[in-house]
């Protein structure tokens, strides 16, 4: 007996005889396994049978099934064998395989299953019977193999006459053609009938998204030179929506229904093609970074493909070089604090996810000609053309949420806040943008879609701060919004470098940002990738170091809100210091610029809780504005009874030294005085500053009975005593 040759991957099989040896059999076995085991058929089967990820199956394709006489398909001591069929396998080939296993293995459990792992036939008894009959092995297997070879020749001739699809140029028209061979009976000559299906298109892979699969297509649209990669959902192949998507991207397709059916079959054949990861958000994905235009920075061995859409994707191009950006822009920005702040915001955007920080934004406000637009152009030039990547507040909250997904882990420059569609839209947009989560939406097929999530860093400008802008529209600003979008008054640039004055300096920068853009952002991402490669925690460690310094600078009475903002500035400093090789700026100048910006923010916000200040200011404003809604005591006989009574007002008595007092009815207190705030929290704040007097009865901490001379029933009310000017100033300074 001749020495047997090992079948493909036999040496990789487990050496435990009782562990199932997996064998893929049939004409489609190799396609199912794919390159390096990445074939979809094998991946699906492996999950069904719980096979170990690093285990390779034995593969018996059409060629191996004709060579069974010379192949060892399983170890001699193997007891358990599973055959999984992919594609056609004749009964003769199966019989030959069973004889091989009966003669050359000790297998007593052999099963044949389909490509989904479902049992087709238990072959154990048949193989045992073959052993008992002790048939002459070599002659039998040789006979069967020869028979299979003859059948293979016949099949090959038949295959030569099967229709197929191939790229060709016929009569000057290049594309995919369906070719139907036909043999001339008299001469034996093979003639071909050709039908044009479409422009040239190649199936280059199978795409795997979070919810569905795609076929990955590559083609060159008319009048373009570069191939376009497109992810076409498998569910849309052959459907009207699928043809529309292909045509919309520049692929010409036959209008004949029967030919489109043939093309659909061709487009969905992804067997043996590599897997692409199809994602709907940009930023950090599978070890690489995706820009909003789909460009991938870093190692893309995982084949990441961005299937989303940015409204400004065309702006993410490049102009000039890193050196020209450093010379014309960075060199003229150095030592100008608020211009450096804008650059810090742009650079910090991809760091948000890397250090697990929150989304936030910076809003620079000030009068005209203060440098807001120039600063925005400088910051935007990091990643692309400043005019083309900038977004507008004149958008719906949903539109900007979609754009945030397309700029996940990225920078979002916004135009003047005064250009918002209306103030309510600006409020909703600010909340949605920094909340980092979209609306829950139902899916057509039932259930709900995956909730959209993102992290981003926004940069906005305007003549007024967000709070003033919204208040002008009668909208109360939530304190949480003020620590997510930091309102910072801008100071004009004072270092003009080689330019004669501020106007010449600004004019140069505005022109330069339209010539030198996009390159430094790509270099910055590469630098961050290198930092991560040097150590996963390296960036986080540097961030934690700057964070400790920022928190140590704060006074002990600083509120939690101020500490949150300090973490934002720690992130900005991490970005500026890490990017020093790109900007050329000194570490001391970076720190000074951010300290200046933080000081300006504190001057606006204060070190203490902004919510406490809002509660106190609202209560005082109510008493000052609606004092006429209170019934005075002592009673003024000439005064008419007020409308919409809010309570009782006891006038100050200078002789007794008693201050003015307001007894506010419960409903008025909750619905008017502390409107928009939690009752208990607001009452504790007013109690703490002395504006609200503590109740005089156990169990009624915030309520005080009216004096009997005012109300014999002694109704319980909230007793508010306006603070003196000295107390007011002390509270304001807090």
**Residues 557-602 pLDDT 10s:** 898 999 999 999 999 999 999 999 999 999 999 999 999 999 999 9
Using pLDDT thresholds of 50, 70 and 90, give the confidence band for residue 136. Answer: very low
Is 166 strand, coil or helix? strand
Is 133 strand, coil or helix? helix
**Residues 304-343 pLDDT 10s:** 998 877 767 889 999 999 999 999 999 999 999 999 999 9
Mean pLDDT throughout 370-386? Answer: 96
HEC per residue, 605-653: HCCCCHHHHHHHHHHHHHHHHCHHHEEEECCCCCCCCCCCCCEEEECCE
Return the pLDDT at 444. Answer: 56
- Measured CA distances, 184 to 159, 160, 178, 194 (Å): 16, 13, 19, 16
Q: Residue 659's closest CA among 724, 725, 579?
A: 724
Residue 135 has pLDDT above 90, yes or no: no
Return the pLDDT at 442. Answer: 52
> Do 519 and 527 touch, CB atoms closer than 8 A?
no
Beginning with the edge strand found earlier in the chain, give each strand of the sheet holding 630-633 in spatial order: 630-633, 647-650, 661-664, 716-720, 704-705
Return the pLDDT at 633. Answer: 93
**Residues 41-52 pLDDT 10s:** 898 888 888 776
**Residues 230-270 pLDDT 10s:** 999 999 999 999 999 999 999 999 999 999 999 999 999 98
Give all strands (DSSP E) within 483-609, no chain letters. Answer: 485-489
Low-confidence winner among 65-74, 118-127, 366-375, 392-401 (lowest mean pLDDT)? 392-401
Residue 134 has pLDDT above 70, yes or no: no
Low-confidence winner among 232-246, 440-454, 472-486 (lowest mean pLDDT)? 440-454
Rounded Cα distance, 257 and 535, in Å: 56
Using pLDDT thresholds of 50, 70 and 90, give the confidence band for residue 474. Answer: confident
Residue 400 has pLDDT above 90, yes or no: no
Mean pLDDT throughout 205-213? Answer: 91
What fold is seen in the domain 316-535? Rossmann fold (3.40.50)
User: Exposure pattern of 172-197 as b/e (b: 16+ CB <10 Å)?
Assistant: eeebbbbeeeeeeeeeeeeeeeebbb
pTM of the model: 0.67
> Do 387 and 413 touch, CB atoms closer than 8 A?
no
Q: Residue 56's closest CA among 9, 21, 20?
A: 9
Q: Where are the domains of the chain?
A: 5-134, 158-279, 316-535, 610-733
Mean pLDDT: which of 129-138, 276-285, 470-479, 651-660 is highest? 276-285
Using pLDDT thresholds of 50, 70 and 90, give the confidence band for residue 492. Answer: very high
Classify the C-alpha dihedral 101-103-105-111 as positive or negative: positive
- Measured CA distances, 540 to 282, 532, 578 (Å): 21, 10, 12
Using pLDDT thresholds of 50, 70 and 90, give the confidence band for residue 287. Answer: confident
Residue 417 has pLDDT above 90, yes or no: no
Residue 674 has pLDDT above 90, yes or no: yes
> Do 132 and 120 touch, CB atoms closer than 8 A?
no
């Amino acid at each position: 007996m001749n020495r047997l040759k090992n079948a493909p991957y036999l040496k990789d099989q487990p050496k435990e005889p009782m562990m199932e040896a997996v064998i893929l059999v049939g004409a489609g076995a190799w396609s199912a396994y794919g390159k390096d085991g990445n074939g979809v058929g094998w991946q699906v089967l492996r999950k069904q049978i719980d096979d170990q990820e690093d285990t390779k199956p034995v593969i018996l394709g059409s060629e191996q099934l004709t060579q069974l006489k010379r192949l060892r398909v399983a170890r001699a001591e193997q007891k358990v064998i599973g055959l999984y069929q992919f594609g056609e396998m004749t009964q003769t080939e199966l019989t030959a395989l069973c004889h091989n296993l009966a003669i050359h293995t000790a297998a007593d459990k052999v099963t044949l299953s389909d490509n989904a792992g479902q049992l087709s036939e238990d072959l154990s008894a048949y193989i045992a019977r073959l052993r008992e009959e002790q048939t002459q092995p070599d002659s039998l297997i040789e006979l069967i193999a020869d028979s299979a070879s003859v059948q293979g020749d016949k099949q090959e001739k038949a295959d030569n006459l099967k229709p197929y699809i191939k790229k060709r140029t016929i009569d000057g028209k290049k594309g995919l053609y369906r070719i139907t061979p036909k043999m001339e009976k008299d001469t034996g000559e093979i003639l071909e009938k050709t039908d044009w299906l479409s422009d040239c298109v190649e199936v280059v892979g199978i795409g795997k998204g979070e919810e569905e699969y795609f076929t990955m297509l590559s083609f060159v649209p008319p009048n373009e030179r570069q191939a376009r990669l497109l992810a076409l959902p498998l569910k849309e192949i052959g459907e009207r929506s699928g043809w529309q998507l292909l045509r919309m991207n520049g692929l010409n397709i036959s209008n004949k229904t029967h030919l489109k059916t043939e093309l659909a079959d061709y487009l969905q054949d992804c067997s043996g093609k590599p897997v692409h990861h199809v994602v709907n958000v940009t930023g950090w994905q599978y070890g690489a970074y995706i820009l909003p235009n789909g460009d991938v920075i870093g190692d893309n061995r995982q084949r990441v493909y961005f299937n989303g859409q940015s409204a400004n994707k065309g702006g993410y191009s490049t102009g000039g070089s890193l050196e020209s950006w450093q010379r014309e822009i960075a060199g003229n920005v150095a030592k100008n604090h608020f211009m450096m702040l804008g650059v810090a915001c742009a650079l910090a955007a991809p760091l948000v996810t890397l250090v697990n920080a929150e989304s936030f934004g910076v809003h620079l406000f000030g009068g005209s000609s203060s440098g807001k637009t120039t600063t925005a152009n400088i910051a935007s030039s990091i990643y692309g053309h400043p005019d083309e990547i900038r977004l507008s507040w004149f958008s719906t909250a949903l539109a900007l949420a979609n754009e945030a997904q397309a700029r996940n882990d990225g920078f979002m420059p916004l135009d003047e806040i005064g250009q918002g569609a209306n103030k309510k839209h600006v409020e909703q947009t600010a909340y949605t943008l920094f909340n980092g989560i979209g609306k829950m939406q139902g899916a057509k097929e039932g259930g709900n879609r995956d909730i959209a999530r993102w992290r981003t860093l926004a940069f906005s400008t305007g003549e007024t701060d967000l709070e003033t802008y919204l208040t002008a529209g009668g909208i109360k600003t939530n304190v949480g919004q003020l620590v997510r979008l930091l309102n910072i008054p801008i100071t004009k640039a004072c270092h003009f470098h080689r330019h004669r004055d501020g106007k010449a300096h600004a004019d140069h920068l505005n022109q330069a940002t339209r010539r030198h853009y996009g390159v430094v952002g790509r270099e910055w991402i590469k630098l961050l990738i290198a930092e991560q490669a040097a150590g996963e925690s390296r960036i986080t460690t540097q961030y934690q170091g700057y964070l400790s310094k920022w928190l140590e600078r704060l006074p002990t009475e600083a509120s939690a809100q101020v500490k949150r903002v300090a973490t934002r500035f720690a992130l900005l400093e991490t970005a500026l210091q890490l990017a020093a090789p790109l900007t050329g700026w000194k570490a001391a100048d970076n720190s000074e610029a951010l300290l200046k910006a933080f000081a300006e923010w504190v001057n606006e916000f204060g070190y203490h809780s902004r919510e406490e200040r809002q509660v106190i200011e609202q209560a005082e404003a109510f008493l000052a504005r609606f004092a006429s809604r209170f019934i005075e005591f002592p009673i003024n006989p000439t005064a008419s009874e007020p409308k919409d009574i809010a309570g009782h007002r006891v006038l100050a008595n200078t002789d007794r030294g008693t201050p003015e007092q307001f007894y506010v009815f419960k409903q008025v207190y909750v619905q008017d005085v502390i409107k928009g705030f939690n009752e208990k929290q607001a009452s504790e704040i007013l109690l703490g500053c002395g504006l609200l007097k503590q109740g005089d009865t156990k169990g009624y901490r915030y309520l005080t009975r009216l004096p009997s001379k005012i109300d014999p029933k002694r109704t319980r009310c909230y007793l508010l005593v306006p603070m003196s000017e000295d107390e007011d100033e002390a509270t304001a300074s807090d």
